């Protein structure tokens, strides 16, 4: 189970999470990638705090963990829809090419 899985849906991200994100920035996101002493939990927290900030620009406020999970689900569904459309377009092109 990852750190993200342990956060309840009603966990409310705050500016304190963003402050912690910036405190961890050099350790988790250096020019050569994460520092060797960065733990998996720290990296998970860093990534989820970054995602919370990204979603906050859409919501115009910091999200809850549940809202973040819903956003991830919508992004995944949108990506699957795009992939299906690309496959259909490729199949149509292939069919037209074979018909010629």
52 and 61 Cβ atoms separated by less than 8 Å? no
Q: Does pTM surpass 0.85?
A: no
Give per-residue pLDDT as tens, 25-66.
989 988 888 999 999 999 999 999 999 999 999 999 999 999
User: Residue 34: its pLDDT value, please?
Assistant: 92
Give per-residue pLDDT as tens, 11-26.
999 999 999 999 999 8
62 and 72 Cβ atoms separated by less than 8 Å? no
């Amino acid at each position: 189970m990852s750190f993200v899985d342990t956060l309840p849906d009603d966990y409310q991200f705050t500016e304190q999470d963003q402050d912690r994100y910036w405190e961890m920035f050099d350790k988790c996101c250096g020019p050569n990638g994460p520092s060797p002493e960065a733990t998996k939990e720290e990296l998970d927290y860093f990534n989820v705090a970054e995602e919370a900030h990204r979603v906050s620009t859409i919501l115009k406020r910091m999200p809850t963990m549940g809202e973040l999970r819903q956003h991830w689900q919508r992004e995944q569904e949108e990506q699957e829809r795009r992939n299906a459309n690309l496959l259909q377009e490729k199949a149509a092109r292939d069919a037209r090419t074979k018909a010629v």
